């Protein structure tokens, strides 16, 4: 990135750090297109970074609740000034950012719900008895089994194409559960998908949102990146992240949350699930959107008082 001074300086090149998966590249391309409309004279270039989560596609890595497996390597590139902007799936980004980095923008959110992909576009209601369903997410697994205890839920890792192929091509599974946002961004597999309502499976914290991360002391890049920000998405997503931070949970804990703006209020519903059985605690709250962070933190405190602490310790032990 060539720049000097503050806003108004000449910026020739901005390097965008991203993972190399098809979905990550699609997300980064979406961001680059938007930035080009705002800043047509700046060249925006991709820098593809291989992360721990890409390199070690094992179920065990994710069961252990390691944080930052998809983001740490990109953050290091930011700190080393090898990239200027990082594009993350917000649900992968730890609530504690690396020192020297900050979130500059949260663009308008894609759909927050999960999607059920099957050859016959089943819903969770009419999915055949004892069907085999794949997911690598403890949050999805526990909610699936709450709704349909007859299902055989199998651990599954890999990119979207790999997971869907288990259903469509290899026919080893009857269905897989993925994020609807990924299908929207890639424009793939929608003919096999059915959206799962958020009141059936609570989404992950930050699901459907992207996080645009930069160095903390880079005012030129910050003003460029902030043009991507969507105020309502930012408010809701930051409330969800405040909830997760108060739980002291990583992106792999079996917790789900639904947030929505209702007039001048924010509505939040959240739950924490056991990784061993069908135990869970849940709560909901409505309050002024101007106090969204405090409301989200109080929601976390409520769940902790109701027994979430025990479930979180259980999850962090790598059980389930």
Q: pLDDT of 77-116, one tens digit each?
A: 999 999 999 999 999 899 989 999 999 999 999 999 999 9
In a domain, 136, yes or no: yes
Region 284-297: mean pLDDT is: 98
CB 43 within 8 A of CB 35: no
Region 37-62: mean pLDDT is: 72
Percentage of residues in the chain with pLDDT exceeding 70?
A: 88
Q: Which of 145, 172, 168, 143 is nearest to 156 (CA)?
A: 172
Region 38-56: mean pLDDT is: 80
In a domain, 142, yes or no: yes
pLDDT of 251 higher than 90: no
- Residue 119 and residue 192 in one domain: yes
- Residue 103 and residue 223 in one domain: yes
- Residue 187 and residue 223 in one domain: no
- Quickly state the pLDDT bin for 52 (edges 50, 70, 90): low
- Residue 163 and residue 100 in one domain: no
Looking at per-residue confidence, does 268 or 94 come out higher? 268
- Residue 104 and residue 224 in one domain: yes
In a domain, 3, yes or no: no
Cβ neighbors of 26 (< 8 A, separation 6 or more) are 185, 186
Strand-pair partners of 15: 45
Q: Catalytic residue positions?
A: 92
CB 25 within 8 A of CB 46: yes
CATH number, domain with residue 100:
3.40.190.10
The boundaries of the domain holding residue 165 are 114-196
- Residue 119 and residue 98 in one domain: no
* Average pLDDT of the chain, as a whole number: 89
- Residue 191 and residue 222 in one domain: no
In a domain, 137, yes or no: yes
- Residue 96 and residue 217 in one domain: yes
Question: Distances in Å between the alpha carbon of 106 and those of 14, 179, 214, 271?
Answer: 18, 18, 12, 24
In a domain, 32, yes or no: yes
Sort strands 85-89 and 101-105 into parallel, antiparallel or unpaired: unpaired
In a domain, 24, yes or no: yes
Question: What per-residue confidence (pLDDT) applies to 222?
Answer: 96
Question: What per-residue confidence (pLDDT) applies to 275?
Answer: 87
Percentage of residues in the chain with pLDDT exceeding 90?
A: 77
Q: pLDDT of 191-247, one tens digit each?
A: 999 999 999 999 999 999 999 999 999 999 999 999 999 999 999 999 999 999 999
CB 248 within 8 A of CB 28: no
Burial group, residue 149, by CB count within 10 angstroms (0-12, 13-18, 19+): exposed
Region 269-286: mean pLDDT is: 94
In a domain, 203, yes or no: no
Q: pLDDT of 135-177, one tens digit each?
A: 989 999 999 999 999 999 999 988 889 999 999 999 999 999 9
CA 256-180-199 angle, 5° bins: 40
Region 33-41: mean pLDDT is: 96
State how many domains the chain has.
Answer: 3
Alpha-helix residue ranges (DSSP H) falling in 261-308: 292-303
- Residue 162 and residue 276 in one domain: no
- Residue 263 and residue 225 in one domain: no
Looking at per-residue confidence, does 56 or 243 come out higher? 243
Question: What per-residue confidence (pLDDT) applies to 249?
Answer: 63
- Residue 182 and residue 37 in one domain: no
**Residue 67 φ/ψ, nearest 5 degrees:** -100, 150
CATH number, domain with residue 257:
3.30.160.40
- Residue 24 and residue 99 in one domain: yes
Question: What per-residue confidence (pLDDT) applies to 51?
Answer: 59
Question: What per-residue confidence (pLDDT) applies to 50?
Answer: 77
Q: pLDDT of 1-10, one tens digit each?
A: 444 334 455 6
In a domain, 234, yes or no: no
Question: What per-residue confidence (pLDDT) applies to 87?
Answer: 96
CB 75 within 8 A of CB 88: no
Question: What per-residue confidence (pLDDT) applies to 122?
Answer: 96
């Amino acid at each position: 990135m060539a720049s000097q001074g503050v806003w108004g300086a000449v910026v020739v090149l901005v390097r965008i750090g991203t993972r190399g998966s098809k979905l990550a590249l699609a997300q980064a391309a979406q961001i680059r297109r938007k930035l080009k409309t705002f800043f047509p004279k700046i060249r925006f270039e991709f820098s593809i970074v291989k992360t721990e989560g890409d390199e070690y596609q094992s179920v065990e890595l994710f069961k252990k609740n390691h944080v930052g497996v998809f983001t740490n390597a990109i953050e290091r590139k930011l700190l080393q000034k090898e990239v200027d902007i990082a594009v993350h799936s917000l649900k992968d980004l730890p609530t504690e950012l690396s020192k020297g980095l900050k979130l500059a923008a949260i663009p308008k959110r894609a759909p927050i719900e999960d999607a059920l992909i099957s050859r016959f576009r089943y819903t969770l209601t009419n999915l055949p008895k004892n069907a085999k369903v794949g997911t690598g997410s403890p949050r999805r697994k526990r909610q699936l089994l709450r709704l349909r205890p007859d299902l055989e839920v199998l651990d599954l890792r890999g990119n979207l194409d790999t997971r869907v192929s288990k259903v469509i091509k290899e026919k080893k599974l009857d269905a897989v559960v993925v994020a609807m946002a990924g299908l929207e961004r890639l424009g793939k597999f929608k003919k096999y998908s059915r959206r799962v309502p958020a009141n059936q499976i609570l989404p992950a914290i930050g699901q459907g949102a992207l996080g645009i991360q930069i160095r903390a002391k880079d005012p030129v890049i910050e003003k460029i990146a902030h043009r991507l920000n969507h105020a309502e998405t930012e408010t809701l997503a930051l409330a969800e992240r405040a909830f997760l931070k108060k739980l002291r949970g990583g992106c792999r804990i079996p917790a789900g949350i639904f947030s929505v703006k209702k007039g001048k209020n924010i509505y939040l519903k959240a739950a924490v699930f056991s990784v061993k059985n069908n135990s869970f605690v849940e709560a909901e709250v409505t309050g002024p959107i101007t106090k969204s962070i405090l409301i989200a933190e109080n929601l976390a405190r409520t769940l902790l008082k109701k027994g979430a602490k025990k479930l979180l310790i259980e999850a962090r032990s790598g059980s389930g």
